[in-house]
Amino acid sequence: MALRIYSKQREQVLETVKSMDPHPSADDVYHRVRRRLPHISLGTVYRNLNQLVETGDLSCVRDGKMVRYDWETGHHQHFRCELCGVLQNVKVSNKEIMNLLSQYSGMIINEIDLEIKGVCGDCSERN
Protein backbone atom coordinates (compact mmCIF):
# COMPACT_ATOMS: atom_id res chain seq x y z
CA MET A 1 0.00 0.00 0.00
CA ALA A 2 1.41 3.38 -0.95
CA LEU A 3 -1.11 5.88 -2.23
CA ARG A 4 -4.49 6.17 -0.60
CA ILE A 5 -7.34 6.00 -3.04
CA TYR A 6 -11.03 6.54 -2.63
CA SER A 7 -13.30 3.86 -1.25
CA LYS A 8 -16.92 4.12 -0.26
CA GLN A 9 -16.15 1.93 2.75
CA ARG A 10 -13.71 4.47 4.16
CA GLU A 11 -16.09 7.32 3.45
CA GLN A 12 -18.90 5.53 5.27
CA VAL A 13 -16.70 4.61 8.22
CA LEU A 14 -15.83 8.28 8.68
CA GLU A 15 -19.42 9.46 8.24
CA THR A 16 -20.64 6.79 10.61
CA VAL A 17 -18.26 7.77 13.40
CA LYS A 18 -19.31 11.38 12.94
CA SER A 19 -22.96 10.41 13.30
CA MET A 20 -22.55 8.26 16.40
CA ASP A 21 -22.41 8.90 20.13
CA PRO A 22 -18.94 9.86 21.27
CA HIS A 23 -16.16 7.28 21.52
CA PRO A 24 -17.55 4.23 19.75
CA SER A 25 -15.41 1.10 19.65
CA ALA A 26 -14.38 -0.47 16.34
CA ASP A 27 -17.09 -3.07 16.84
CA ASP A 28 -19.70 -0.38 17.51
CA VAL A 29 -18.70 1.31 14.25
CA TYR A 30 -18.77 -2.01 12.42
CA HIS A 31 -22.34 -2.77 13.47
CA ARG A 32 -23.56 0.72 12.69
CA VAL A 33 -21.87 0.99 9.31
CA ARG A 34 -23.37 -2.34 8.29
CA ARG A 35 -26.75 -0.65 8.11
CA ARG A 36 -25.45 1.18 5.05
CA LEU A 37 -22.95 -1.35 3.76
CA PRO A 38 -24.22 -4.76 4.84
CA HIS A 39 -21.23 -6.60 3.38
CA ILE A 40 -18.44 -4.53 4.89
CA SER A 41 -16.03 -6.65 6.86
CA LEU A 42 -14.72 -6.04 10.35
CA GLY A 43 -11.14 -5.93 9.06
CA THR A 44 -12.06 -3.16 6.66
CA VAL A 45 -13.52 -1.15 9.50
CA TYR A 46 -10.37 -1.61 11.58
CA ARG A 47 -8.08 -0.74 8.69
CA ASN A 48 -10.01 2.37 7.81
CA LEU A 49 -10.36 3.56 11.38
CA ASN A 50 -6.59 3.27 11.78
CA GLN A 51 -5.98 5.08 8.51
CA LEU A 52 -8.39 7.85 9.44
CA VAL A 53 -6.53 8.31 12.72
CA GLU A 54 -3.24 8.42 10.79
CA THR A 55 -4.54 11.09 8.45
CA GLY A 56 -5.89 13.09 11.36
CA ASP A 57 -9.54 12.73 10.37
CA LEU A 58 -10.29 10.90 13.62
CA SER A 59 -8.64 10.61 17.01
CA CYS A 60 -8.62 7.63 19.32
CA VAL A 61 -8.29 6.85 22.98
CA ARG A 62 -7.48 3.59 24.70
CA ASP A 63 -10.18 2.24 26.99
CA GLY A 64 -8.78 -0.79 28.80
CA LYS A 65 -7.98 -3.44 26.23
CA MET A 66 -10.02 -1.66 23.58
CA VAL A 67 -9.55 1.44 21.46
CA ARG A 68 -12.33 3.99 21.04
CA TYR A 69 -12.62 6.55 18.24
CA ASP A 70 -13.61 10.19 18.16
CA TRP A 71 -14.35 12.68 15.42
CA GLU A 72 -13.14 15.39 17.79
CA THR A 73 -9.54 15.72 16.68
CA GLY A 74 -8.60 18.96 18.42
CA HIS A 75 -6.59 18.97 21.62
CA HIS A 76 -8.48 17.45 24.51
CA GLN A 77 -8.16 15.14 27.48
CA HIS A 78 -10.56 12.57 28.89
CA PHE A 79 -12.79 12.15 31.87
CA ARG A 80 -14.09 8.70 32.76
CA CYS A 81 -17.05 8.21 35.05
CA GLU A 82 -16.37 5.32 37.41
CA LEU A 83 -20.09 4.71 37.86
CA CYS A 84 -21.62 4.75 34.39
CA GLY A 85 -18.33 4.23 32.56
CA VAL A 86 -18.92 7.09 30.18
CA LEU A 87 -15.86 8.68 28.63
CA GLN A 88 -16.11 12.37 27.90
CA ASN A 89 -13.78 14.97 26.52
CA VAL A 90 -12.45 17.79 28.62
CA LYS A 91 -10.11 20.58 27.61
CA VAL A 92 -7.10 21.40 29.74
CA SER A 93 -4.32 23.43 28.22
CA ASN A 94 -1.12 21.49 27.81
CA LYS A 95 0.84 24.61 28.64
CA GLU A 96 -0.60 24.67 32.12
CA ILE A 97 0.18 21.03 32.67
CA MET A 98 3.68 21.52 31.32
CA ASN A 99 4.29 24.22 33.91
CA LEU A 100 3.71 21.62 36.59
CA LEU A 101 6.41 19.50 35.02
CA SER A 102 9.10 22.14 34.90
CA GLN A 103 11.14 20.21 37.50
CA TYR A 104 11.76 17.48 34.92
CA SER A 105 14.09 19.57 32.85
CA GLY A 106 16.04 16.68 31.26
CA MET A 107 13.17 15.31 29.22
CA ILE A 108 11.49 16.73 26.17
CA ILE A 109 7.72 16.71 26.49
CA ASN A 110 5.81 16.22 23.27
CA GLU A 111 2.42 14.97 24.34
CA ILE A 112 0.35 14.81 27.46
CA ASP A 113 -2.26 12.13 27.98
CA LEU A 114 -4.48 12.90 30.90
CA GLU A 115 -7.29 10.69 32.04
CA ILE A 116 -9.36 11.88 34.92
CA LYS A 117 -11.50 9.39 36.79
CA GLY A 118 -14.41 10.25 38.98
CA VAL A 119 -18.17 10.61 38.94
CA CYS A 120 -19.86 12.53 36.16
CA GLY A 121 -22.47 15.21 36.69
CA ASP A 122 -25.41 12.95 35.87
CA CYS A 123 -24.30 10.17 38.19
CA SER A 124 -23.51 12.44 41.10
CA GLU A 125 -26.99 14.00 40.86
CA ARG A 126 -28.54 10.55 40.77
CA ASN A 127 -26.78 9.45 43.99
Partner DNA sequence: ATAAGAATAGTAATCGTTACTATTCTTATT
Partner DNA sequence: AATAAGAATAGTAACGATTACTATTCTTAT
Q: How far is the CB of 32 from DNA (least distance, A)?
A: 14
On whether the CB atoms of residues 47 and 9 are closer than 8 A, the answer is no
Q: Please give the radius of gyration of the chain, using alpha carbons only, rounded to the nearest integer.
A: 17
Q: Any contact of residue 79 with its own copies (CB under 8 A)?
A: yes
Q: Which is nearer to DNA, 5 or 100 (CB)?
A: 5
Residue 87 touching DNA (CB under 7 A)? no
Closest distance between its own copies and the C-beta of residue 122, in Å?
Answer: 9
* Residue 84 binding target from its own copies, DNA, none, CB below 5 to 8 Å by type: none
- How distant is the alpha carbon of residue 108 from its chain centre? 25
Kindly give the interhelix angle for 8-19 and 42-54, rounded to the nearest 10 degrees.
Answer: 80
113 belongs to the binding site for its own copies (CB under 8 A): yes
Residue closer to its own copies by CB (options 7, 118) is: 118
